[in-house]
Structure 1
Amino acid sequence: MQTRRSVSSRIASALAGLALTVVVILGAVPGAFAAGLTVHDVSLDPCPSEDVGAQPQLKRPSGASCFVLRGSVDNPGRKTVFDTDVFAQILDASGEPVLQNRSRVGSIGDVEQGTSTFALRLAVPAGTPGPFTFSNVKARGFSAPVRTRAGEFDDILPLEQAVAETDLS
């Protein structure tokens, strides 16, 4: 049987740990808060064969297939939203998740005020039965940068820059 003091000291320790966690999280980026953005006109298409991300020389049954998730994102605010991530639930023909245990599909960097387009390359396990459906597509970013910035285009990887510039029509 535990004494009241040991129970209360455990509760106090747990509360102190929780308070420290909150302080660390909030103190890591002073003044930054999460901002939700509206995503629309979303499509999921195979990567063009000439796309370096398609890697045709690596296609085999145990590999992955390249797909591009494209869409538009609206930032109704007056300020840029930084370090924006896109989330979506993507399902195969049988209703199973294509990306197991994750809903974050990638980062689209900074989103200026207004409407912007985005394109993200996704690796889908080979043999996954299509057609694919998606839902709950959303984008979340921050009011201030939360990642270290090394250069002008460091918020988008070079492969994502290339796929964003390629028109699939």
Structure 2
Amino acid sequence: MARVKGFRIWGVLIACVFWISSWVMAPAAWALAQVSLTDLSYEECPTELAEGAITSGGASRPANCFIITGNAENKTGKPIYNADIFGRVYDANDNPVMQNRTRLGSIDEVPPGVSDFELRISVPANQPTPLKLKQFKASGFTGTVRR
């Protein structure tokens, strides 16, 4: 009986050591890296992309298509994968274009240094331009991410 109890204690201790060490030695994909987004601008989509644009959500309504462009700066020295783009887009009257939504899209790969990016968004047709792009940033992983 005492032997069984001893094995049980050692088993629990070994399991705890593995569990704690898994936190310390996390895979590289867990390393979330920040990307600065600068020099933001936008333009209307080419007609072949804009044709039939509608808003997302419950009711489909006519929308205007825009391409947001800018520079993505990766200071990590390693490629960043699957970087989610966050930001706020306002119309000419300072009304939010996308209610309750700050994730706007993603960049598949951001190489080290400064690179260009673009992002397509749909804006309800009844919201006036010019658009205001605020608080843009991105974050992704320095390791490969399975999707």
- TM-score (normalizing by structure 2): 0.72
Cα distance between partner residues in 2 of 1:67 and 1:103: 16
Q: Counterpart amino acid of 1:132?
A: L
Change (3 A) 1:42 1:82: same
How far apart are residue 30 of structure 1 and its match? 2.9
2:89–2:96 Cα contact (<8 Å) kept: yes
Structure ranking higher in strand proportion: 2
2:97–2:127 Cα contact (<8 Å) kept: yes
* 3-state SS of 2:118 partner: strand
Deviation above 6 Å: which 4+ runs of structure 1?
Answer: none
Q: Show the counterpart of 2:16.
A: none
Gaps of 5+ in 2: 1-19, 55-59
Q: Counterpart amino acid of 1:53?
A: L
Q: Show the counterpart of 2:34.
A: 36
Q: Show the counterpart of 2:64.
A: 65
Number of aligned positions between the proteins: 118
Q: Show the counterpart of 2:6.
A: none
Cα distance between partner residues in 2 of 1:147 and 1:100: 30
Cα distance between partner residues in 2 of 1:59 and 1:136: 25
Cα distance between partner residues in 2 of 1:39 and 1:146: 21
Greater relative contact order structure (CA < 8 Å, 6+ sep):
2
Q: Aligned residues: percent identity?
A: 37
Q: Counterpart amino acid of 1:107?
A: S
Q: Show the counterpart of 2:111.
A: 112
Cα distance between partner residues in 2 of 1:126 and 1:78: 41
* 3-state SS of 1:107 partner: strand
Q: Show the counterpart of 1:135.
A: 134
Cα root mean square deviation, aligned: 2.2
Q: Counterpart amino acid of 1:96?
A: N
Of 33, 37, 53, 2:49 maps to 53
Kindly name which structure, 1 or 2, has the bigger radius of gyration based on alpha carbons: 2
Change (3 A) 1:59 1:106: closer
Which 10-residue stretch deviates more, 139-148 or 93-102?
A: 139-148
Cα distance between partner residues in 2 of 1:129 and 1:39: 24
Gaps of 5+ in 1: 1-22, 149-169
How far apart are residue 103 of structure 1 and its match? 0.8
Q: Deviations over 1:46-69 (max 9, x none)?
A: 1122xx2211xx379931110001
